Amino acid sequence: MESLHRSASQTRLKVAGIRCLPEPSQTLLNLRMLYLCGRWDEFWKDASLMENLVAAFEPRVAAEPNALQGAA
């Protein structure tokens, strides 16, 4: 398990000059782990994947100012 950690995460995150933020880094590591454990094709063939991706990138509607004033 330690060698997988070294080959999967440390190699990606310890590149000179790279700035890694937690959320994108975790996403890349998840995809890399899918590839390394042989589940890459299974992941991309999932029928609900496209629905989940669309939902994740839908614009979020901000709360109306009046609704916030009523709560105060």
**pLDDT (tens digit, 9 = 90+) per residue, 11-60?**
666 777 777 777 877 888 888 888 888 999 998 898 898 888 888 788 77
For residue 68, tell me if it sits in a domain: no
Tell me whether residue 71 is in a domain. Answer: no
19 φ/ψ angles, rounded to the nearest 5 degrees: -115, 115
In a domain, 63, yes or no: no
Cβ atoms of 59 and 52 closer than 8 Å = no
In a domain, 7, yes or no: yes
CA distance 35 to 29: 10
Q: Which residues form the domain of 31?
A: 2-58
pTM of the model: 0.51
| CB-facing half-sphere around the CA of 72: CA atoms within 13 A | 5
**Is there a domain that residue 67 lies in?**
no
Number of domains in the chain: 1
User: Which residues are within 8 A (CB) of 25 and not within 5 positions of it... i.e. 6 or more apart?
Assistant: 12, 13
Q: In a 3-state reduction of DSSP, which class is residue 8?
A: helix
- Please report which confidence band the pLDDT of residue 1 belongs to, taking 50, 70 and 90 as the band edges: low
